[in-house]
Amino acid sequence: MVREKWLPEFDKRREFWLGSENTHAIQENPFNLDDGDIIRSFMRNGEVLGTCTPGANLLGRLYGRMFLEDLNSTEMDKEKNALLYDCASDGDGYRPRKNPGPLTARQLFDLLSKDRFHVCRSDSSMKMDPVDTPSSVTMARDPDASSNIETKEPDAERRRIYIADLDRWYVLALMATASIHQAGPLQRALYWHHASEGYIGLNVGRGLPVFELAFHLPFQAFRPQNAGPLPPGARDVSFLDWDSDDSSVMCRAIYSCTVAGPDKWRWVAYCFVDTYFDGENDGRESAEDHFNDTEGPMGISSLDPCGYGFTNEDIGPDPRCWFLKVLDYRLAMINAEFTEVVSRIESSTTCYREKHYPSSDASEAELKRTENWMHEIQRLIPDVSSTLSKTLRACEGFLHGDIKEFSPEVSETQRISLGMIKQHTGSLLRLQGKLCELKETCATYNTDLTFLMDRHQRDLARDNRAVSLILMICTPVLLTSGIFSMEDEVRKRTFPSIAASSASFFKVLSIFTAVITLAAMQQNLVRLPKQWRWNNLRDGPCHVLNGLLIRWLRMILQHALQQSLTRMALRGVCAMIACVIQMYKGFLSWFRFRSNPALQDDAQDAQLEPTQRIERGLGSSSYRTHGPIGV
């Protein structure tokens, strides 16, 4: 059972065996059934019960199988995205360990593998379970600690782990070094962070009461896109800018922070932030920049990267105060990101309304661009609204629930942070309302655009139908003319049943007209008047005669189509080809005739009678050229 309450024992130093914080959970309870897979071994350890392990399944899908042998991989030494801050309480102040600076996954693993507390287990405590019987466990410190206090580092009572762009190698380092009491909070932190779900609250787990303050706040960030591939998980939103060809993307991200410990003096904080969407030269948040900006004298860090650089001395040892401060600063950054996103969407919608709202005479290209914009923005707004709702529900749940755990004895710093958190929540509520208004506005625009598109399609259909009707009217005449323009021998050989007469011409024209009209009616290019349709003819006063006539016409047309349509079509194609050839040959003959005067004289002589040709001494062109045959 989860206890959601800040217990009184959290406000005092509790007596328990500190050596349990030096024991790694993955080594204490290994799962041999998982073949050494550290993800399933860790995510099924501790408080996770049953066979349903959504956290293990989620991380397994994202990272695959990981083993302890992977700690030797060279990939562990590539990126320096982590920072580690350890300190011990000293009255109202603190004594920090030396800041190691930006860390790779291997360096973080090496530092976390070291003992957090300088302790030794007494003989009487060897048989005690520090989880089940915390009251019977006594705190035992290293006997050499007092004598070597000047040479040894202070205990890491308050530990803060900052990781930018958490990847599988940092996950491996954290899982391999998490203590028994930190396993449960880290499991939930990893699951909520990778699931991108919103949450803010306080939990108290089973066994040894350990408080767990956590927030997980997903958001979306608008960024210009430079040359290169899209960042992972990003979507192209260049359509938002109507007047520019610059590329831009919308990136999903999440800020996560979990603080867990047995009391307010000894706790561990995990802070995971996504920064991948910013370029190296665009002010990208990084561990190196935080280290350079926050490093004080003697290796003491005066600013905290988890809260993007607020002062440590202002918060004291209370983890609730630190948690609220980090939540305040991270929520302010998320508020700014959502404000930019909503502003971009609103600007694009305003530009559409003022400059690109389609008119009745808009071109097809303009309508197509508007249609694409409408489709994309109607997908984008619900997506942004869904992410904003996750963060907003988390904030409202906290303000109406676990906020009571920070009262009545709330400090001035906590009071300021709570006031700012309420202010950020109100701003997010206003952004959510604006997104709802934009969604309704775009729905109205989409209705208008749909009307214009339908009218445009109707106009195109009307134009296409007019062209089709013209072709339908002209085609029978052209086909018939092509047949009768053939030479007699070609026509008789191709169409032996068609004579060169006016009656045959009109018969062929009627057949082509009927066939093309039926085809046009089949394609709905021609619609008969309502009073001429088959059903109305059958239902008229002369329905018997009309019915007989219709059946007779249908029988004739069906027989003609079945018996002669294929042959007629083939012959028609051949006739058209022959017609084109004959027209080409006729054109060549005419051109040769017009360009050769001798051929024109021959044509005139050919019109004379033979006796006249002899009297005039004229013969054929070959006679004039070669003389009489046989001479």
What DSSP assignment string belongs to 336-360?
A: HHHHHHHHHHHHHHHHHHHH----T
Please give the tally of structural domains in the chain.
3
Q: How far apart are CA 238 and CA 245, in angstroms?
A: 8
% of the chain exceeding 70 in pLDDT: 68
**Residue 610 binned pLDDT confidence (cut-offs 50, 70, 90):** low
**Angle, helices 502-522/412-484, rounded to nearest 10 degrees:** 160
User: Identity (one letter) of the amino acid at 20?
Assistant: S
Q: Judge whether 609 and 616 are in contact, CB under 8 Å.
A: no
CA distances, 358 to each of 366, 368, 378, 518 (Å): 7, 10, 17, 39
- Closest by Cα among 407, 371, 400, 388 to 331: 388
Could you list the beta-strand ranges (E) of 115-230: 158-164, 199-204, 211-224
Half-sphere exposure of 237 (CA within 13 A, CB side): 27
pLDDT at 105: 94
| 191 and 51 share one domain | yes
Residue ending a domain, among 308, 343, 378, is 343
| 85 and 40 share one domain | yes
**Residue 563 belongs to a domain:** yes
> Averaging pLDDT over each range in 138-147, 247-256, 483-492, 589-598, which range is the top one?
247-256
Domain that holds residue 537: 486-500+518-595
pLDDT at 557: 52
- Closest by Cα among 264, 258, 424, 215 to 336: 424
User: Identity (one letter) of the amino acid at 307?
Assistant: G
pLDDT digits (tens, 9 = 90+) for 373-397: 889 999 999 999 999 999 999 999 9
Please state which of the ranges 100-114, 141-155, 239-253 shows the lowest mean pLDDT: 141-155
**Residue 506 belongs to a domain:** no
**Residue 457 belongs to a domain:** no
Secondary structure (DSSP) of 453-466: HHHHHHHHHHHHHH
pLDDT at 546: 44
Residue 301 DSSP code: B
**Residue 50 binned pLDDT confidence (cut-offs 50, 70, 90):** low
Which tokens belong to 247? 């590329």
Residue 29 pLDDT greater than 90, yes or no: no
**Residue 582 belongs to a domain:** yes
Q: How far apart are CA 162 and CA 304, in angstroms?
A: 9
Residue ending a domain, among 322, 343, 364, is 343
Which tokens belong to 516? 């093309």
- pTM higher than 0.95: no
Look at phi and psi of residue 436 and say left if phi exceeds 0, alpha if psi is from -120 to 50, else beta. alpha
pLDDT at 46: 58
| 492 and 615 share one domain | no
| 549 and 621 share one domain | no
Please state which of the ranges 108-122, 176-190, 538-552 shows the lowest mean pLDDT: 538-552
Q: How far apart are CA 385 and CA 439, in angstroms?
A: 10
Residue 587 pLDDT greater than 90, yes or no: no
pLDDT at 603: 56
**Residue 544 binned pLDDT confidence (cut-offs 50, 70, 90):** very low
**Residue 46 belongs to a domain:** yes
**Residue 238 belongs to a domain:** yes
**Residue 411 binned pLDDT confidence (cut-offs 50, 70, 90):** confident
Q: Judge whether 65 and 53 are in contact, CB under 8 Å.
A: no
Residue ending a domain, among 343, 362, 379, is 343
- Closest by Cα among 488, 402, 370 to 204: 402
Which three-class secondary structure state does DSSP give residue 31?
A: coil
| 495 and 603 share one domain | no
What length is written for the chain?
631
| 581 and 607 share one domain | no
Residue 204 DSSP code: E
| 529 and 576 share one domain | yes
- Closest by Cα among 119, 122, 138 to 130: 138
* 330 vs 557: which has the higher pLDDT: 330
User: Identity (one letter) of the amino acid at 182?
Assistant: Q
**Residue 505 belongs to a domain:** no
| 557 and 494 share one domain | yes
| 570 and 608 share one domain | no
Which three-class secondary structure state does DSSP give residue 53?
A: coil
Distance of CA 409 to the CA centre of its chain: 47
| 601 and 575 share one domain | no
Pairing of strands 234-236, 266-273: unpaired
Residue 268 pLDDT greater than 90, yes or no: yes
Backbone phi, psi, residue 546, to 5°: -60, -40
| 133 and 253 share one domain | yes
- Closest by Cα among 497, 490, 381 to 438: 381
| 27 and 62 share one domain | yes
Q: How far apart are CA 14 and CA 8, in angstroms?
A: 11
**Residue 393 belongs to a domain:** no
Q: Judge whether 275 and 284 are in contact, CB under 8 Å.
A: yes
Longest dimension (CA), the chain: 154
Look at phi and psi of residue 454 and say left if phi exceeds 0, alpha if psi is from -120 to 50, else beta. alpha
